[in-house]
């Protein structure tokens, strides 16, 4: 009975912390109902079990919410599902990077790629950006520590990006043939 009481108290505390994020996120048009917050925490528990991880304290959920709430690619319609998926991706890559990277470093890296490289595409974040970066971290790369995970991907990025000048040059060549 005592263990159940402690678990219930911890869940209520976590729920309160997640619902409390609304004070900040409402500025960006994002809010969680109590039911949505419970769903988010339920999915968090599932992701932790799936990745065989344990978390103490309030957990990563509020940090993910605060990190991503100002994203141009998240709105009220995709908010809950995006947060659920970001939790899953976070725990997966904490394991993939063998806990070498701090929570904040990983969150900063994820957010930067989500905004600047992935343009909100969670599959690309998970399957390309984080995959490549995690391989570098496992191989011994530690440059992200000085930058707190910001501006790190450029040196590992294998994908050619949009080049406006090259586009104009090619367009001119096509038009003047």
Cα(33)–Cα(113) distance, integer angstroms: 28
Q: Tens-of-pLDDT digits for all 177 residues of the chain?
A: 445 554 555 566 688 788 899 999 999 999 999 999 999 988 988 888 898 888 776 789 999 999 999 999 999 999 999 999 999 999 999 999 998 899 999 999 999 999 998 899 999 999 999 999 999 999 888 878 777 777 777 767 666 555 667 767 777 788 876
Q: Is-contact 71 114, C-beta < 8 A?
A: yes
Clarify whether residues 88 and 167 are in a common domain: no
Residues 92 and 129 in one domain: no
Q: Does residue 139 share a domain with residue 53?
A: no
pLDDT of 45 reads 86
**Cβ contact 78:34 at 8 Å:** no
Domain span at 107? 99-177
Whether residues 83 and 162 fall in one domain: no
């Amino acid at each position: 009975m005592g263990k159940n009481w402690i678990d219930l108290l911890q869940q209520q505390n976590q729920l309160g912390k997640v619902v409390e994020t609304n004070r900040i996120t409402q500025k960006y048009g994002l809010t969680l109902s109590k039911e949505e917050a419970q769903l988010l925490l339920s999915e968090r528990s599932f992701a932790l079990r799936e990745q065989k991880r344990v978390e103490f304290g309030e957990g990563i959920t509020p940090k993910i919410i605060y990190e991503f709430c100002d994203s141009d690619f998240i709105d009220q319609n995709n908010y809950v599902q995006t947060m659920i998926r970001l939790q899953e991706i976070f725990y997966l890559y904490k394991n993939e990077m063998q806990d070498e990277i701090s929570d904040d470093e990983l969150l900063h890296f994820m957010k930067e790629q989500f905004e600047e490289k992935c343009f909100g595409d969670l599959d690309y974040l998970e399957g390309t950006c984080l995959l490549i970066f995690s391989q570098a971290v496992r191989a011994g790369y530690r440059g992200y520590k000085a930058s707190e995970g910001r501006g790190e991907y450029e040196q590992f990025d294998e994908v050619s990006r949009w080049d406006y000048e090259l586009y104009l040059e090619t367009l001119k060549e096509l038009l003047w043939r």
